[in-house]
Structure 1
Amino acid sequence: MAGVRQFDEDSAFEQALEVFRAKGYRATSMLDLAKSTGVQRGSLYNAYGDKEEIFSRVFERYADRFVADARVALNKAGLREALVEFFVFAIRSITQGSPARGCLSTKIAVEIASESPRQQELVKKMLDELEDVLVGVLQSPEARAQLVIPPRQAARIIVTMTRGIAVMERVYSDPKRLRQTASALIDTMVRPG
């Protein structure tokens, strides 16, 4: 039947995500996507038009899931515990796999965001949503009493640290070092209990 996709889009997008994570945007070809998804190139072109459209849809799903998982990680009783759990989640997300898969949003921000307004907006939207989730946690009266800086400023520093951690993971491949760095940041932002 014309117009009906003959493949499982969820499965295809998961496979495409792994290719973009492994190769980045530029080095990923439509042939790579066809091979990984098991969907003919022609079918991918007919369904989505081009690689950028596939990437955009895949990235939106990735970003939504990442922000939702961050929200769950931050759902702890105490501020320090919430931030520790958040960084555990962030570090685990970039160190999974063999070799470690890294951070797709940071990879895209560095690789091509300045060349593609659409992709820059996708990354910006994800980071803004992550910042808003953090602000939601940091602006409670209990959290404000423990923070040494205003909630929005703290959230921006934390989001920036997640990007720095992603870069340092690529250089050192040492999750323990990343956790120690995150812990040091928490110590500088949160007053001792």
Structure 2
Amino acid sequence: MVGTRQFDEDALLEVALKTFWQNGFAATSMIDVAEATGVQRGSLYNAYGDKERLFLLAFERYSSRFLDFVRQALSNPDPAAALTALFKGAIANMTEGAPSRGCLTTKTAIELPLAGKAIEARVKRLIEDFTALIRDALSTPAARRKLSCDPDIAADLVVTFTRGLAVMERAYRNPRHLEKMSEQFVRILLPEAKRRR
């Protein structure tokens, strides 16, 4: 039937996400996605229009999963434990695979000059959503008592630190080093947490 997709879209988007994540937006072509998915390039263009549209659909899937992970990690009422879980999960996520796949958000942010406005807006929205979740988690009375700075500033620092972790992972590919840096960062951000143990 004309207009009916002859492929499993869920499976295709999953493979497309893995391909973009491993290679980055700019280095991934529609030919790469076609080869990875086994779907003809013409069928991809007919279904999605262009690489940007396909990337945005894959990135939407990534964003939803990432924010679900962040909510889960930050659900611990102890802010030090919550941030520790956040960093451990983020490090595990970016170091997965051989070679490690890195952080899709950071990879894409670095490539924004090569991407369109729609991708730029979507990356910024994910970062803003991520920041808001951290700010909410660090705005509880218990967290405020332990924080070394205002929750708004702390949230921005945590997001910035995670971007730094992603860059350091690319440079050194040493998960244990990233974990040690994260442990120190939590101690700096929450000095009261250490003293109260």
Q: Identify the TM-score tier after normalising by the shorter chain.
A: over 0.9
RMSD, matched Cα: 1.2
Q: Which amino acid aligns with 1:172?
A: Y
Q: State the Cα distance separating 1:76 from its structure 2 match.
A: 1.3
Aligned to 2:92: 92
Aligned to 1:27: 27
Q: Is the 8 A contact 1:79 1:138 kept in 2?
A: yes
Q: State the Cα distance separating 1:115 from its structure 2 match.
A: 4.7
Aligned to 1:148: 148
Q: In the alignment, does 2:74 pair up with 1:74?
A: yes
Which sections of structure 2, spanning at least 5 residues, go unmatched? none
TM-score by length of 1: 0.96
Cα 1:38/1:134, change in 2 over 3 Å: same
Equivalent residues in 2 for 1:79-158, closer than 5 Å? 79-113=79-113, 115-158=115-158
Q: Is the 8 A contact 2:169 2:178 kept in 1?
A: yes
- Paired with 2:108 and 2:6, the residues of 1 have a C-alpha distance of 30
Q: State the Cα distance separating 1:26 from its structure 2 match.
A: 1.6
Q: Secondary structure at the match of 2:35?
A: helix
Q: Is the 8 A contact 1:154 1:189 kept in 2?
A: yes
Percent identical residues: 44
Equivalent residues in 2 for 1:43-58, closer than 5 Å? 43-58=43-58
Q: Which amino acid aligns with 2:17?
A: L
- Paired with 1:141 and 1:2, the residues of 2 have a C-alpha distance of 59
Q: State the Cα distance separating 1:2 from its structure 2 match.
A: 2.1
Aligned length: 193
Moved more, 44-53 or 72-81: 72-81
Deviations 1:151-192 (A, max 9, x none): 111011000111000000011111111011111111111123
Q: Is the 8 A contact 1:165 1:178 kept in 2?
A: yes
